[in-house]
Copies of this chain bind each other. A is one copy, B any other.
């Protein structure tokens, strides 16, 4: 592999000159030598060594991104996509993504190691939540990072997130527009960030439409298919309140549970019960009926995050941006007008 020396020798100039043309210091070098050097670069087939450049410039052009273990059977389709678009956006700016694994319980020392060994220039966080220890830690280290997802509202750090409140609002509004009034929701346990935003949107839409629903219409549970099944069971089996005609599920997986339970009870989803989910999980479009859901604008998020990182490098003490990207409704077959 040729080095800068080989190019210099070939062109009959000093390595400094070669370096100038490499870095487009046009001021320093005549058009003539410039062309000469350019030719020599091609001739010897030279590409600068990133490592050497990095040592000199105190950077790595690497952005760290943690890949968390997916519990078996589970998956996070959003983050899979995110990985791709993030990497792509990074590459457009001559950065690369260093993917590292991270235990869920105590991730801090992994981040610390990466910082201390100067392995990466910045981190991209994802899957943040309330009291995410990584955020105060990175802030205390004064290490650049951006986040896909919010955390405590009083914390200030650069982030992009999907506007889940808006999503919950639109989902509910959509059901209302179809004619539903008895609209229930399956949420995550209290304290889950996006879950609560989606829930708030749901509540706001009901309120604005002047609809009040019984308290039991809110069912909370973990991110399992069974949560959806239990929710519907609960609503259908209680005798004192009328069952809902439509359900907003906090995610597609839970929506799937609701649909499964409905179908096993002989209810036709899309007619006798409408169900709407979140996140546009793969495969669910092939379910009968295909699930109506929301997709997040992941490509956009990836691009924005990388742009934000670059800005941080340029003006380190920039105000921390805080951007929300609306999700987009994908209408399929699982929602229809109520029949009665």
The interface of chain A, by Cβ under 8 A from chain B, is: 1, 45, 47-52, 54-55, 60, 62, 65, 67, 69-70, 73-75, 77, 80-81, 83-84, 87-88, 91, 96-101, 113, 116-119, 225, 253, 256-257, 260, 263-264, 281-288
Contacts and interface: CB of A to CB of B under 8 A. Distances in A.
Contacts of A51: 51, 54-55, 60, 118
A254 B225 CA distance: 22
A263 B288 contact: yes
A98 B96 contact: yes
Given A54-B51, A99-B97, A286 B87 contact: no
24 contacts: A47-B113, A47-B116, A51-B54, A51-B55, A62-B98, A65-B99, A67-B87, A70-B80, A70-B81, A91-B100, A96-B100, A97-B99, A99-B99, A225-B286, A253-B283, A256-B283, A260-B286, A260-B288, A263-B288, A281-B283, A282-B283, A283-B283, A283-B284, A287-B287
A263 B263 CA distance: 13
A101 B119 contact: no
B285 A50 contact: no
A283 B101 CA distance: 24
